[in-house]
Amino acid sequence: MEDSEATGPQDPLALLLEVQARDLHLDQLAYRRRQLGERRALEALEARAAELEERSAGVRTERDRLDARLSDLEAHADSYSSRIEAIERRLREGGAYREVQAMSGESESLARHRRQLEDEELEVMEQMEPLEEELGSLSGELAGLAGARREASAALAGAEAVLEGEAAEVAGERGRLAAGLPPDLLATYERLRQRLGGVGAARLADGACGGCHLKLPNSEREHVLHAAPGEVVFCDQCGRILVA
């Protein structure tokens, strides 16, 4: 016996069920691909990173605002210092008593203001300190997450590659099997499959449609069981192709 194909499914409807099985397998692989635990893990890490980035941005804005305030205070303190130095140079040159008194008074007043500015500078620096610390710890945590995300990404790619390999194999089989079907039957099946949740053809089992699981009336059951060769019978309930 040379023709081993003779034992394979020659009947188009039996062949159609083979195609249907491959299509369900492919659907299941696509589902598993979407539901991969590795994808969940990566998404969780990405969500955490986004949260930390957002927190960092907020802290950085506040830190920058204080830093600008600090520069402003320093610039003011510097301008007071310059004015104090200028007054002291003139004081060293001497002058009329009242003029010297007035200049000394001004110098003291400027020095007081400068001290106030310096106190405020210290306060701002104290406020900045915990922010800098938080930024440091956030950036440390983000760096750790970056490594974990790379690993999770690689794990996901690996898991996807396994499922893709399996899907490519099943798709190849499906293509070869589908090529043996009458084009009209294949087109009808594909239209039904698209409309009916992935199942376009079902077997009649225990008197019920394998697609909608409803029992068939006796007359319909007989119709399916004794269909003429090449005749396609549809389930009255769900419209799927019924195969005896």
Give whichever of 128 and 224 is closer to Zn ion, judged by the CB atom: 224
Least Å distance, CB 31 to Zn ion, is 23
**C-alpha distances in Å from residue 182, one per residue of 12, 14, 153:** 7, 12, 44
Give whichever of 121 and 220 is closer to Zn ion, judged by the CB atom: 220
Give whichever of 200 and 211 is closer to Zn ion, judged by the CB atom: 211
Least Å distance, CB 199 to Zn ion, is 9
Give whichever of 170 and 192 is closer to Zn ion, judged by the CB atom: 192
Least Å distance, CB 11 to Zn ion, is 20
CA–CA distance, 137 with 148 (Å, rounded to integer): 17
Tell which residue, 198, 194, 178, 185, has the closest CA to residue 234: 185
Give whichever of 156 and 235 is closer to Zn ion, judged by the CB atom: 235
Least Å distance, CB 190 to Zn ion, is 17
Residues with Cβ within 8 Å of residue 160, at least 6 apart in sequence: 33, 36
Least Å distance, CB 234 to Zn ion, is 8
List of residues contacting Zn ion (CB under 5 A): 209, 211-212, 235, 237-238
Give whichever of 127 and 237 is closer to Zn ion, judged by the CB atom: 237
Least Å distance, CB 161 to Zn ion, is 38
Contact 70, 125 (CB under 8 A): yes
